[in-house]
Amino acid sequence: MSSEKNWHSMPVEEVFKMLDTSPSGLSQEEARRRLEVYGYNRLEEEKKVSPLKLFIEQFKNPLTALLLFATILSLLIGETLDAVVIIVLVLAGALLGFYQEYRAERALEALKKMSSPQATVIRDGVIKVVSSEEVVPGDIIVLSAGDKIAADARLIETVDLRVDEAILTGESAPVDKETGILEVDTPLAERTNMVFAGTAVVYGKGKGVVVATGTNTELGKIAESLQEVKTEKTPLEKQLDMLGKVLLILMVIVATIVSLVGMFYWKMRLIDLILWAVSLAVAAVPEALPVIVTGSLAIGVYKMAKRKAIVRKLPAVETLGSTTYICSDKTGTMTKGEMTVVKAWIFDQEIEVTGTGYQPVGKLLSNKEPVNISENKALELLLLNAFNNNDAQLVQEDSKWTLRGDTTEGALKVFALKAGINQSLERIGEIPFSSERKRMSTLHPWREFNVMFVKGATEIILQLSSKIMLPSGKLFDINEDIRERIMKVNDDFARQGLRNIAFAVKFFPSEKNVIKEEDEGDLIFLGIAALIDPPRPEVYPALETCRRAGIKVAMITGDHKLTAVTVAKQLGLLDEGDVVITGTELEKLNDNDLENMVEKIRVFARVSPEHKLRIVRALKKKNHVVAMTGDGVNDAPALKAADVGIAMGITGSEVAKEAAAMVLADDNFATIVEAIKLGREIFENIRKYLIYLLSANIAELLTPLFATFLGLPIPFTATQLLWINLITDGAPAIALSLEPGEPDLLERKPRKPNSPIFTREEIIGFLVTTPLILTISLTLLFKNLIDLGIPEVEARTTLFTTMILTELLLAYLLRSLRRPIYELSPLRNKTLILVLILSFVIQLGMLSIPIVQAALNISKISIDDFEKALIVLALIFVTVETSKAIIRILEKRQYP
């Protein structure tokens, strides 16, 4: 049976008729028959991809294919060591990617775990406890406080029933349930005559007829939408794929040109020609790139873990750094997820309540001065009412206060404790709260009286009250003027997004020990308490940082529009011209209309899971890199659809955590800012490495061509080129990826999703000018040595040494692509300095060994070689630093 039918708009009798059931429930035999028809009440697992297929998928990108081709070529020319190095790097990257993806797709398993293991049903007119998997449409389920609801059901009886639906709808306060008929277009969050699988009963009891089980429940729809959502490649993955294709084309072009030159100019033997062309092609391949990228991201994961953020998918760290839009859940993410009394009103006196959450620390202030409770009789009675007409319990565990019971009642108890009211009065009578009555009354012995405390909706309590108590304790009759003043205060609070609870009292003789509804009249009105789920204090500065970083933030919540707007204003999220929209209004927009206005919307209220997916997809169509934070089951599809999903570790459901790429262990929105900074730092370091690698490799490719034009011999042998690659593309590059982030990273605008890895200025300065100057310098140095009659072996040795020293210098200079090198302390990246020194020492040591000299076809390195190298080093230093200065001027950036 599908939940697509509008069960909430049908009379109970019609529901019974359509499901062929009754208040006595199904027979055991009929329940078994329906179990065969509808299947077990559980969510089907998505078909898993085999581990072998997952592993093979890791090799389906141009760069990896290029590296594998380079491995084959290396083996063909006898360079076994180089081939082994390349294949080890490729396998390491593939295994790490396989491990990450193998663990990533577990959202449906988590959804299954959320199902209640048992359910109470009525069968053959008798209450029975059965496995939740055996619940079928038409079953009558019995609900009581603490139950996890096993299936979607239309309510047929309720007694003070309240259900926590935050995990499904995002609504922060428990929902009062009733049995009345609702309008057809009533949003999911307002279907008060329905209960849904996965939610929990927090108060009262009730009965319902099951209308949907398994994948037909609202929870099941989310499971299906998770299967439909495809995970897209991150901006970095797309850019590296493109780079791999470019390098593949470059390698073919280089090999072709060199082959033609070698054949017709150098008159090389075919075997030597093949070896030379292959060596140049291998030199063009960045074999260390996958491990550099993976290593950079892994380091980012480690750093984020120390900052309370657990990254489940490596590319998410870089993607967050590219984020242009954050869609954030309100409840528990931007707010504390804890109701708090923030204001109170006693006749003509407004009181501010400080402190947030369930920790009973705060003050009651009137005109910024502490309120003297003993001198305010009305407030004292209101606080006694809040403390005793209350079923919530506050428990202190490991220095943390937690609530057991209704969040509103918990907030009222904390309110009383902040004022020092903790007198627990014996409860001798009670009239429970119900959604129809909208009030709750309790009777207690107090002094020489028995006192009845009443709390509930302001309009109801006011209607039942005939007098009002002043702070002095004096009573006045409530006339029309006083009534209007009270309702004005109530409306003013409501417009601020506050939830209002009114309080009243009635005194009886001590012999009175039973109360009935008819006793709830002629009450003495005490005042109003106004509650809100308060914003997290650290969110405001985090939002300011996002604003400076050029990242837009939208609040998405299941709460009421007024509440959401109030929180948004407190956080400074709403500016002039920003739009606030509800789920009902969103449904009236087609996809094109939503795309056209989505960037102006800052608050989405009363939204459903389908709405969240539409929002994320609309933003992505506007070319935004979207991060989605959330904690509920309802967030899972959007978390998976977003470029990077961020789940809450404390309040988040297992479904959200499994669907997300990142989990915040401290549920702290501010932690995201750290992730953004780290993501930008990682991407910047990857860019530095690529520029370092490509500028050097381009020079290695161009130098033989320039030498050809000048009629010179081959400047590098095949083995020399491979040695240069081995020494310079490994450890120095990895060390360069550890460079700390620059101070202005969060002041820069986000990188556009489809923008190239390098800017035009960077290409001209670092990938054209620098390699060109280096190529010309090396070629002229080589020509000068040959013209002086120096043997080719010694000339190549000087050129070989110069090339290695230049690349080590480049690694140091490219620690920043903007800032002059003298502004960067060497101690900022001790690893790089150590690696450069060790590389230089190892280079000297290895090349002093005769067997190595013979293998590389070089002579012993002399001081004269270093002197000549210094000229080239000086030219490269000036070229790189000048390029940085020109880029700074062109971009008109200010650097601290």
Length of the chain, please? 896
Q: Which amino acid is at 52?
A: L
Confidence of residue 736 (pLDDT cuts 50, 70, 90): confident
| Interval 680-708: pLDDT, tens | 888 888 888 889 988 888 888 788 878 87
Tokens 């090389």 belong to residue: 268
pLDDT at 282 over 50: yes
Q: Which residues are catalytic?
A: 329
pLDDT score recorded for residue 775: 94
pLDDT score recorded for residue 354: 93
Confidence of residue 462 (pLDDT cuts 50, 70, 90): very high
pLDDT score recorded for residue 844: 81
pLDDT score recorded for residue 258: 66
CATH 2.70.150.10 fits 7-46+111-228, yes or no: yes
| Mean pLDDT in residue range 316-339 | 81
Is the separation of the CB atoms in 406 and 176 below 8 Å?
no
Could you give the angle at the alpha carbon of 840 between the alpha carbons of 836 and 846, nearest 5°?
140
| Interval 121-175: pLDDT, tens | 999 998 888 888 899 999 999 998 768 898 999 999 988 788 888 767 766 568 8
pLDDT at 112 over 50: no
| Interval 51-94: pLDDT, tens | 677 677 666 655 566 556 666 766 766 667 656 655 665 565 56
DSSP per-residue letters across 188-232 = GGG-TTEE-TT-EEEEEEEEEEEEE-GGGSHHHHHHHHHHHPPPP
For residue 608 the two structure tokens come to 């459903």
Could you give the angle at the alpha carbon of 703 between the alpha carbons of 700 and 708, nearest 5°?
140
CATH 3.30.300.30 fits 342-355+371-532, yes or no: no
Q: What percent of the chain has pLDDT over 70?
A: 80
For residue 394 the two structure tokens come to 């506050």
> Which of 310-314, 503-507, 683-687, 878-882 is the least confident region?
310-314
pLDDT score recorded for residue 90: 59
CATH architecture of the domain with range 311-335+537-667? 3-Layer(aba) Sandwich (3.40)
Cα gap 805→817, rounded to integer Å: 20
pLDDT score recorded for residue 117: 65
756 vs 824: which has the higher pLDDT: 824
| Residue of 105, 72, 100, 104 whose CA lies nearest to 86 | 72
Say which residues have a Cβ less than 8 Å from residue 266's Cβ, sequence separation at least 6: 708, 714
Neighbours of 771 (CB within 10 A): 21
855 vs 373: which has the higher pLDDT: 373
> Which of 109-118, 170-179, 643-652, 752-761 is the least confident region?
109-118
292 vs 107: which has the higher pLDDT: 292
The winner for highest mean pLDDT among 99-113, 234-248, 374-388 is 374-388
Residue 170 Ramachandran class (φ > 0 left, ψ -120 to 50 alpha, else beta): left
**What DSSP character marks residue 826?**
G
DSSP per-residue letters across 567-629 = HHHHTT---TT-EEEEHHHHHTS-HHHHHHHGGGEEEEES--HHHHHHHHHHHHHTT--EEEE
Confidence of residue 472 (pLDDT cuts 50, 70, 90): very high
831 vs 709: which has the higher pLDDT: 831
pLDDT score recorded for residue 81: 62
> Which of 246-260, 445-459, 751-765, 782-796 is the least confident region?
246-260
CATH 3.40.1260.10 fits 235-305+675-891, yes or no: no
| Interval 557-616: pLDDT, tens | 877 788 888 889 888 898 888 999 998 899 899 999 999 999 999 999 888 767 888 999
Cα gap 219→108, rounded to integer Å: 11
pLDDT score recorded for residue 776: 95
Confidence of residue 277 (pLDDT cuts 50, 70, 90): low
Sequence spans of domains, the chain? 7-46+111-228, 235-305+675-891, 311-335+537-667, 342-355+371-532
DSSP per-residue letters across 314-362 = THHHHHHHT--EEEEEIIIIIB-SS-EEEEEEETTEEEEE---TTS---
pLDDT at 554 over 60: yes
**What DSSP character marks residue 433?**
-
pLDDT score recorded for residue 49: 59
The enclosing H or E element of 440 equals strand 439-446
Please enumerate, as own/partner, the contacts of 53-62 that have beta carbons within 8 Å and a separation of 24 or more.
54/98, 54/101, 54/102, 55/94, 55/95, 55/98, 57/101, 58/93, 58/94, 58/95, 58/97, 58/98, 59/90, 59/94, 61/237, 61/240, 61/241, 61/244, 62/241, 62/244, 62/245, 62/248
| Mean pLDDT in residue range 231-238 | 60
pLDDT at 715 over 70: yes
The winner for highest mean pLDDT among 205-214, 247-256, 430-439, 719-728 is 205-214
Q: Structure pTM?
A: 0.65
Could you give the angle at the alpha carbon of 891 between the alpha carbons of 888 and 896, nearest 5°?
55
**What DSSP character marks residue 26?**
B
Is the separation of the CB atoms in 703 and 697 below 8 Å?
no
Cα gap 501→192, rounded to integer Å: 20
| Residue of 435, 63, 32 whose CA lies nearest to 244 | 63
What interhelical angle do 770-787 and 792-813 show, nearest 10?
160
Give the CA count within 13 Å in the CB-facing half-sphere of 191. Answer: 23
| Mean pLDDT in residue range 361-373 | 92
pLDDT at 675 over 90: no
Q: Which amino acid is at 593?
A: D
pLDDT score recorded for residue 667: 73
Coil, helix or strand for 429?
A: strand
pLDDT at 107 over 50: no
Cα gap 247→62, rounded to integer Å: 9
| Mean pLDDT in residue range 817-830 | 88
> Which of 83-97, 187-201, 525-539, 643-657 is the least confident region?
83-97
Partner residues linked to 328 by β-bridges: 555, 629
Q: Beta strands of 217-330 (E only): which ranges?
A: 309-311, 325-329
pLDDT score recorded for residue 895: 39
pLDDT score recorded for residue 270: 63
